[in-house]
Amino acid sequence: MQPKMITIDGNEATASVAYRLNEVIAIYPITPSSPMGEFADEWAAKKKPNLWGTVPTVVEMQSEGGAAGAVHGALQAGALTTTFTASQGLLLMIPNMYKIAGELTSAVFHVASRSVAAQALSIFGDHSDVMATRQTGFALLSSGSVQEAHDFAAIAQAATLKSRVPFLHFFDGFRTSHEINKIVPLSDDDLRALIDEELIRQHRARALSPDHPFIRGTAQNPDVFFQARETVNPYYAACPGIVQETMDAFAKLTGRSYHLFDYSGHPEAERVLVLMGSGGETAEATVKHLAKAGEKVGAIRVRLYRPFSAEHFVAALPETVRAIAVLDRTKEPGSAGEPLYLDVVNALVENGRTDVTVIGGRYGLSSKEFTPAMVKGVLDELKKAKPKNHFTIGIYDDVTHTSLEYDPSFSIEDPETVRCVFFGLGSDGTVGANKNSIKIIGEETDNYAQGYFVYDSRKAGQMTTSHLRFGPKPIQAPYLIEKGQANFVACHQFSFLERFDMLKYARPGAVFLLNSLYGPDEVWDHLPREVQEDILEKKLKFYVINAYDVAEKTGMGRRINTIMQTCFFAISGILPREQAIAEIKKAIQKTYGKRGEAVVQKNFQAVDMALEHLHEVNVPDKVTSTLHRRPPVPPEAPEFVRNVLGKMIAFNGDSVPVSALPADGTYPSGTTQWEKRNLALEIPVWEPDLCIQCGKCVFVCPHAVIRQKVYDPALLKDAPATFKHTDAKFKEFPGMAYTIQVSPEDCTGCTLCVDACPAKDKSQVGRKALNMAPQPPLRKQEAENWAFFLSLPDVDRTKVKPSTIKNSQLLRPLFEFSGACAGCGETPYLKLISQLFGDRAIIANATGCSSIYGGNLPTTPWAVDSHGRGPAWSNSLFEDNAEFGLGMRLTLDKQNEYARELLQDEAIRRIIGDDLAQALLEADQSDEAGIQAQRERVAQLKEKLAGKDDPRVRELLSVADSLVRKSVWIVGGDGWAYDIGYGGLDHVLASGRNVNVLVMDTQVYSNTGGQSSKATPRAAVAKFSAKGKDLPRKDLGLMAMSYGYVYVAQVALGANDAHTLKAFLEAEAYEGPSLIIAYSHCIAHGFDMARGLQQQKLAVQSGAWPLFRYNPALAAEGKNPLIIDSKAPTIPVSEYAYNETRFKMLVQTDEQRAEQLIKLAQQDAQSRWNLYKQMASIRYNGQGEA
């Protein structure tokens, strides 16, 4: 009997097999493979056994390099061991992969393949990571769909045990790892039948054991290394045969038949594509479609890429083939061709098939769409007498003209398949509801079903797009629903209509469902003209529902997921209405039931009420609207922003040609200012009469949308009528005017500024100097005020002593409007760096949240000041950021040294004069005035050197800027600093060089979804610590202090802003390495982000986060360098912790363990406090008490 089909994604499909077939699993988070590790950790936490009845040991390592090492060790000791990874993570495993393969060790690595960072990082899918391992000796097995990922996970395990060649099983990141599809699951019995247990015993018998000792991992000399390297040849020769045998056995067991090279298409094909991964699904479906129409075309899907069996490959080709196009989902610049292409050419040559024309090309890099139209485009190219070799497909390359033309309107979509596209707001639950819908359709009807979801790269206020297909036939379409193909288009957010062209997806006669504040009789006139035109032209059936109203009435807040889902089922008719509602409710019960009855009831009510509010619109027969879709960026934006970034903002980046993009990954700064996202429902409104001008609101704002300025009151003559101002209360600026201004269209409405505001109305304490008010009525007026505010001159930096919050916040932020979460706990620290040192800062940013909201296209928050200066920012990798930043320091120091040497040169001195040379050499740049004076000297220097034809002059001109003091900041999160980058960080701190390290400590890997790091506190639940972390967080500060010459500070701006400011100023001033560990509240903590500052206070008061500064400069003065800046704990840790779901959920899942762990966490806080206290009271240099 066929087992009941299940609807899951590729990661779960893979992990479910890998988990059952292994004993030790070493994991580390990296997109898009992280969910595999998360599943393994969660299943282990729930004590789910593997195939042999024991719960696998799941261990998180400090990096993928560490995971590979642990895997190697575990294998050597005889365990069945696996790991999951992708991209850079896989690259970090390569050294061990050579070892594991060299020792003929049975193991499987499961890889959700992803681009390797080059000109930019990309989290999306291609084969560049896997291709970088093809020389390691691992077998590479490629699956192309969710079902195959499930099946090949098992086939790989069976084949590795038999062949002794380790396997890397890979599938396309996101496209397969995150696609939900209906598959036939492998039962435990299937797996048992497939895995030969005798081979497992042999695997164990080969392991290291003191009971029968030997050594492995020797060093060999020229005499035998070569011969020893050749010993493995028979194993590799046998491997393809073993894989095929395993596939045959699998086919007998399941009926699903695979081959090393699977051919499909016309039996007498003349033109054939060769490729692997999910693109093979598209190619297969397309050639079948074309062959049916008589075209002699075919496709070969490569399953076992290494060892590459030329013999099997040639055998799989039809005799009739005349031309082959090999498609590689990777790029090897400078090569003779991409790897699969070269292998195919070689296979044909070695087997005498030189009669076949072979071309190679690239497709699908970084999850670029690969569609039937592109498949046809390539096949059409093969018809030509001289087809283009080394081509690209899917882009427009107007530089080296590699791209092939194709007809994008070609489609092979089955008319029986229903296609639906949904546009939602990240926070409204659209994707979650669609995942539920596709499971309902997949598991409660006979239909096949597929779901794929596209996200924005911002963390707040982003659009999600859901692509759902279902129908009576299996769905072999790993590409997005194409233009003009959707039967159903839903827009869950009315404002999207004026920003994006959604109806381009709709086919004629399709259904359009809109979440609208306007009812069926009034909505028409509120639609942009372009939308009206599409509705009429395509004769769409148009429905509206006021889902926000229903959500409000049923306590759903802004989550309209179940409401829109109900409407979808009601309109689509996929199930009878009553049954659909019953199934939705069943899904609600399943999803939310364990979270308590109240949640279930709330959702039930939403379902029940939804249909009453769903209305079909009687569409008028003509276009009436005067509204137009608005451009993604304003017309005054620079050309590059308009023509390139603007297209990306409008989700039209696919149309950007190669020539429009920089060749080296360099992009302009300060571009978030052009992208007005209007996220806030409410914005702060300033009351000048209550304001005490303390600057705290400006300090805490994560998005740099609230700012203060002092300026000449005479400038107010041009102010808009509603522009607010008052007299400045700054002793440095007598007689000046003062304004606090909010950027209404950039504000996220996080309310941290209001929370930080200490000024309360004496007659009405609920009214502060800042109060939230609805944004829409204020938007236009405040946007004008903001523009005027920006036109006011920035404060003269030389006149501001930034040692107080008030003064420091007059400095212009050069980090603004990032795509971080609303109320982010990290960004205020980066903004502070940008204010204090931004015009001379160079920033090395570890990969993580900060590199994404800092540098993910289309725009960047790193900005420039009115002089054109600002932070210079770059991201290298996750693991090397400290070293990367040190390199920057080394260059700056070297160039400074060289410039100083050149200033000693007599010829140069003759040109510039001794006075200027000496002044440049002896400049005191310890404050802004000193830096400004040096900048002026450098300007003079350049002026004097200009036009002089002397090589030494040209040299000095090119390094002259290094004479102005620069500030190097190495920034990143705790995943980097505590774990993957710790070795490098330690070395850089030890180097003694003048670098400043900022660790924005969220106590988890935030960017990849909250996995545990060594900064995660005891008693907190995190992914990879699903049972609650049972050990205390690492004391990074203490470790750094042990050097004695590293400035170390632990800060929490919500607890003590002045302390934070002081630490940043001291760290930067210290002529050596500095480390600031900054408490950064985070969405992953599961608490109200509007209470972020209060929560930081509680963290400090409880002793969970003591504030301190360790300043080696004090030791030089004979004083104790450690100053504890917070008081002894005054509240229990639990009072802080249990405001957060990460701690509280342990009480809800394992109360006894929670109780034990929180008690230990309390002891951690107390003992750390005691230790610091004692350290701070040690006498230094016999100079008495510190």
Partner 1 sequence: MDLSTTYLGLTLKNPLIASASPLSQKVETVQRLEEAGIAAVVMYSLFEEQIIHESLELDHYLTRGTDSFAEALTYLPDSGVYSLAPDRYLEQVRALKAAVDIPIIGSLNGVSKGGWTRYARLIEEAGADALELNIYYIPTDPDLSGAELEEAYVELVAEVKAAIGIPLAVKLSPFVTALPHLARRLVEAGADALVLFNRFYQPDFDLDELEIVPHLELSTSAEMLLPLRWIAILHGQIQADLAITGGVHSGKDVLKAMMAGARVAMMASELLQNGIQRVPAILAEIQKWMQEHEYESIRQMQGSMSRQAVAEPAAFERANYMKVLNSWRELP
Active site residues: 31, 64, 114, 1007
Bridge partners of 872, per DSSP, are 842
Helices (H), 1052-1150: 1057-1069, 1092-1101, 1112-1116, 1133-1137, 1141-1149
Bridge partners of 237, per DSSP, are none
Which span (91-99, 459-467, 614-622, 1064-1072) binds partner 1, by CB under 8 A? 459-467
Of 266, 439, 458, 707, the one binding partner 1 by CB under 8 A: 458
Residues 6 or more apart in contact with residue 936 via CB below 8 angstroms: none
At its nearest, how many Å lie between partner 1 and the CB of residue 852?
8
Using CB under 8 A as the criterion, what x/- string covers residues 1047-1086 for binding partner 1? ------------------------------------xx-x
- Please report, as a single letter, which amino acid is at residue 51: L
435 binds partner 1, rule: CB under 8 A = yes
In the complex with partner 1, which residue's Cβ is closer, 473 or 594? Answer: 594
In the complex with partner 1, which residue's Cβ is closer, 31 or 818? Answer: 31
Of 1022, 1041, 1099, 1165, the one binding partner 1 by CB under 8 A: 1022
In the complex with partner 1, which residue's Cβ is closer, 717 or 762? Answer: 762
426 binds partner 1, rule: CB under 8 A = yes
Per the CB < 8 A criterion, the answer to whether 383 and 271 are in contact is yes
Structure tokens at 541: 């059936």
Which span (588-596, 614-622, 909-917, 1069-1077) binds partner 1, by CB under 8 A? 588-596
How would you classify residue 448: left for phi > 0, otherwise alpha for psi between -120 and 50, otherwise beta?
A: beta
Total residues in contact with partner 1, by rule CB under 8 A: 63
Local structure of 241: helix, strand or coil: helix
In the complex with partner 1, which residue's Cβ is closer, 597 or 664? Answer: 597
Which span (237-245, 592-600, 775-783, 932-940) binds partner 1, by CB under 8 A? 592-600
Per the CB < 8 A criterion, the answer to whether 1007 and 1022 are in contact is no
653 binds partner 1, rule: CB under 8 A = no
Local structure of 1102: helix, strand or coil: coil
Per the CB < 8 A criterion, the answer to whether 819 and 458 are in contact is yes
In the complex with partner 1, which residue's Cβ is closer, 637 or 1015? Answer: 1015
The angle that helices 430-444 and 577-592 make with each other, rounded to 10 degrees, is: 120
429 binds partner 1, rule: CB under 8 A = yes
Strands (E) across 158-199 are located at 167-172, 180-183
- DSSP letter at 645 equals I
Which span (378-386, 748-756, 800-808, 1020-1028) binds partner 1, by CB under 8 A? 1020-1028
CA nearest to 1068, candidates 995, 999, 1132:
995
Using CB under 8 A as the criterion, what x/- string covers residues 99-128 for binding partner 1? ------------------------x-----
Of 52, 98, 235, 455, the one binding partner 1 by CB under 8 A: 455
Of 46, 252, 383, 954, the one binding partner 1 by CB under 8 A: 46
Of 66, 337, 377, 432, the one binding partner 1 by CB under 8 A: 432
In the complex with partner 1, which residue's Cβ is closer, 1038 or 1145? Answer: 1145
- Rounded distance, CA 913 to CA 390, Å? 59
In the complex with partner 1, which residue's Cβ is closer, 462 or 579? Answer: 462
Question: 1141 φ, ψ to 5°?
Answer: -60, -30
Handedness of CA 551, 553, 556, 561 (dihedral sign): negative
1023 binds partner 1, rule: CB under 8 A = yes
Which span (56-64, 424-432, 472-480, 880-888) binds partner 1, by CB under 8 A? 424-432
Of 220, 231, 643, 1148, the one binding partner 1 by CB under 8 A: 1148
- Rounded distance, CA 942 to CA 582, Å? 77
606 binds partner 1, rule: CB under 8 A = no
Subset of 971-990 contacting partner 1 (CB under 8 A) = none
Using CB under 8 A as the criterion, what x/- string covers residues 809-828 for binding partner 1? ------------x-------
At its nearest, how many Å lie between partner 1 and the CB of residue 1170?
28
Of 852, 963, 1048, 1075, the one binding partner 1 by CB under 8 A: 852
Question: How does strand 726-727 pair with strand 706-711?
Answer: unpaired
Which span (142-150, 381-389, 587-595, 993-1001) binds partner 1, by CB under 8 A? 587-595
760 binds partner 1, rule: CB under 8 A = yes
In the complex with partner 1, which residue's Cβ is closer, 35 or 387? Answer: 35
The number of beta carbons lying within 10 Å of the beta carbon of residue 648 is 18
In the complex with partner 1, which residue's Cβ is closer, 544 or 821? Answer: 821
Per the CB < 8 A criterion, the answer to whether 387 and 325 are in contact is yes
Which span (32-40, 869-877, 881-889, 1166-1174) binds partner 1, by CB under 8 A? 32-40
Structure tokens at 845: 């940013």
In the complex with partner 1, which residue's Cβ is closer, 821 or 841? Answer: 821
1006 binds partner 1, rule: CB under 8 A = yes
Q: How many CA atoms lie within 13 A of 1143 on its CB side?
A: 21
602 binds partner 1, rule: CB under 8 A = yes
Q: Identify the burial level of 914 via C-beta atoms within 10 angstroms of its C-beta, where 0-12 means exposed, 13-18 middle and 19 or more buried.
A: exposed
In the complex with partner 1, which residue's Cβ is closer, 48 or 541? Answer: 48
At its nearest, how many Å lie between partner 1 and the CB of residue 510?
25
Would you list the DSSP string of 552-604? Answer: HHTT-TT--HHHHHHHHHHHH-SS-HHHHHHHHHHHHHHHHGGG-HHHHHHHH
How would you classify residue 1130: left for phi > 0, otherwise alpha for psi between -120 and 50, otherwise beta?
A: alpha
Query: Residue 944: in which H helix or E strand, if any?
Result: helix 928-945
In the complex with partner 1, which residue's Cβ is closer, 70 or 1083? Answer: 1083
Of 171, 723, 978, 1087, the one binding partner 1 by CB under 8 A: 1087
- Rounded distance, CA 455 to CA 426, Å? 8
At its nearest, how many Å lie between partner 1 and the CB of residue 174?
7
- Rounded distance, CA 263 to CA 243, Å? 17
At its nearest, how many Å lie between partner 1 and the CB of residue 463?
9
427 binds partner 1, rule: CB under 8 A = yes
Which span (590-598, 825-833, 897-905, 981-989) binds partner 1, by CB under 8 A? 590-598
Q: Which residues of 608-638 are buried (b: 16+ CB within 10 A; e: fewer)?
A: ebbbebbbebebeeebeeeeeeeebbeeebe
At its nearest, how many Å lie between partner 1 and the CB of residue 725?
26
Q: What is the largest CA-CA distance in the chain?
A: 95
In the complex with partner 1, which residue's Cβ is closer, 193 or 1145? Answer: 1145
Per the CB < 8 A criterion, the answer to whether 633 and 645 are in contact is yes
- Rounded distance, CA 739 to CA 719, Å? 12
Subset of 540-569 contacting partner 1 (CB under 8 A) = 555, 559
Of 371, 447, 996, 1007, the one binding partner 1 by CB under 8 A: 1007
CA nearest to 156, candidates 36, 234, 56, 239:
239
- Please report, as a single letter, which amino acid is at residue 977: A
**Interacting residues toward partner 1 by CB under 8 A:** 31-32, 34-35, 38, 41-42, 45-46, 123, 174, 178, 426-427, 429-432, 435, 453, 455-459, 462, 464, 555, 559, 592, 594-599, 601-602, 760, 765, 821, 852, 1006-1010, 1021-1023, 1026, 1083-1084, 1086-1087, 1141-1142, 1144-1145, 1147-1149, 1151
